[in-house]
Structure 1
Amino acid sequence: MVTSATFRHPGPLAISVAQVDEMSGGRVEFGLGAGWFEAEHRAYAIPFPTLGERFDRLTEQLEIITGLWGTPAGETFDYSGTHYSVSESPGLPKPAQTPHPPIILGGMGAKRTPALTARFATEFNIPFAPLDGLIQQYARVAAAVEDAGRAKDSLTYSAAFVLCAGRDDAEIARRAAAIGREVDELRSNSPAVGTPDEIVDKLGPFLQGGVQRVYLQVLDMSDLEHIEFIAETVVPQLR
């Protein structure tokens, strides 16, 4: 859902996102995180610093990327950080959206995550979290947003869940087997598992807990009927 601050340098990343935003007619939503999956870093020869350094890099990247996008045409941008420095950058190209594409941040960090969200984000996302943890983290972020002097409705709160839906138990079990998961385990970890009515009922407390947007992780990408099924049977009940 997001790229990691360990994967790319902030200047080329700002350029890439701006170009895709222009090519797509302003459809980019930009997600950036500190990085967490050490095995993936090892698998692709990417350094995996300490958690503190990863958050430091994330902070500097957000400052640089938004600075490059926000620099008026004809002016230059400079930045001096611990990990990245910018000198006399024209800050080009610019994204199609103004002042810049929506920025999505997320995670369960208790201090730096809410603070960065309040400074930079348009949307805050929590992936695969239980309801009590989600509500607690949303409260931290809401407090940080208020402390930053932002309007409460200036931030969208979202959540991500694994999807495994079906018309009956047999279809649910077939889809669970296709992704190498057990139905009972999936049901205990995600409200987006079960029949349409079951999913709507289980999503209810999450919506009441503050979730405004739901992302569904479709692990069997060859099963397009799965997506059509959700669009036809679940989405209309949530509108």
Structure 2
Amino acid sequence: MDLRIFTEPQQGASYETLLTVAKATEDLGFDAFFRSDHYLRMGSADGLPGPTDAWITLAGLARETERIRLGTLMTAGTFRLPGVLAIQVAQVDQMSGGRVELGLGAGWFEEEHKAYGIPFPKEKFGRLEEQLAIVTGLWATPTGETFSYDGTHYQLADSPALPKPAQSKVPVLIGGHGATRTPRLAAQYADEFNIPFASIEDSEKQFGRVREAAVKAGRKADDLVYSTALVACVGRTDAEVARRAASIGREVEELKANGLAGSPAEVVDKIGQYGAAGASRIYCQMLDLDDLDHLELLSSQVQSQLNTG
């Protein structure tokens, strides 16, 4: 089981804070550092000092880290034109020496679009499908050839399809809870399928749908990595768990039911249950980015007990 660190900077984090967490992620032996792609806080957080852009952040981290994978859960398709996104991701992949992964979703948080003047189209899934076709098509076009696309939402004519990523294939992540269209899209384009904040039972059902869709699409079901994202709240004692839950405005019992919460032993057991449901990778959502001791505990007492090889 791979453990990855997943952050939500729109809740309040500077680039320097994210850099500190990313370096700790690398030093503590985790597989990857991922971040959300949002421009507005959610819930009761004050959001200070304000949002940071996902791909500008990852570009900086690409130059400041050496080993960890870097990516998004999920880049909002409403924020960027697909041709521009292909250029951005390819460039950051070059800057990292080939360590980037692209999670791409349709976009959903209407309030942040209103807050920053970003168009929020009614039809988002069709746009996402075209974006995936364009981004992956641009990268796959041989150097010296051109790429064109005539879609409902996007049209490209004779693109040189440059630059190319450092990797021969940038892993693409698709996620969600949809029962029909999402599995079909994942089967067509994804290297990894992620279902965020879902129960063990719902995760197993959704993994099954994606596996079936992959076979129908002519792929092997095991061609994809299957992952989940869960909030982490781990403590050496009950008091430490309660303190960490309070710091993020959550209740311990709710976190134990819906996330990775409790003692290291409890969390290792919960991870095992997700593994039995089909997950081979978990994104641990860390909501208090100033609590580096939490990262160290997750590394020394949870990750150390898992088969990460």
Question: Displacement, 1:220?
Answer: 0.2
- Which residue, out of 66, 70, 81, partners 2:151? 81
User: 1:1-239 to 2 correspondence within 5 Å?
Assistant: 1-50=73-122, 53-98=123-168, 100-190=169-259, 192-239=260-307
What is the alpha-carbon distance in structure 2 between the residues aligned to residue 150 and residue 221 of structure 1?
A: 39
TM-score (norm 2): 0.75
Residue identity opposite 2:129 in structure 1: T
What is the alpha-carbon distance in structure 2 between the residues aligned to residue 149 and residue 95 of structure 1?
A: 26
What is the alpha-carbon distance in structure 2 between the residues aligned to residue 41 and residue 173 of structure 1?
A: 35
Instruction: Give 5+ residue unaligned stretches, structure 1.
Output: none
Range 144-153 or range 76-85, more displaced: 144-153
Task: Give RMSD over aligned pairs.
Answer: 0.9
Residue identity opposite 2:74 in structure 1: V
What is the alpha-carbon distance in structure 2 between the residues aligned to residue 134 and residue 44 of structure 1?
A: 34
- Secondary structure of the residue aligned to 2:124 is helix
After superposition, what is the alpha-carbon deviation per residue over 1:206-225, rounded to whole angstroms, capped at 9, x for unaligned? 11000100100000001111
Question: Is the 8 Å Cα contact of residues 93 and 165 (structure 2) preserved in structure 1?
Answer: yes
- Secondary structure of the residue aligned to 1:124 is strand
Residue identity opposite 2:249 in structure 1: G
Residue identity opposite 2:158 in structure 1: E
Residue identity opposite 1:174 in structure 2: R
What is the alpha-carbon distance in structure 2 between the residues aligned to residue 29 and residue 96 of structure 1?
A: 12
Aligned residues: 235
TM-score (norm 1): 0.96
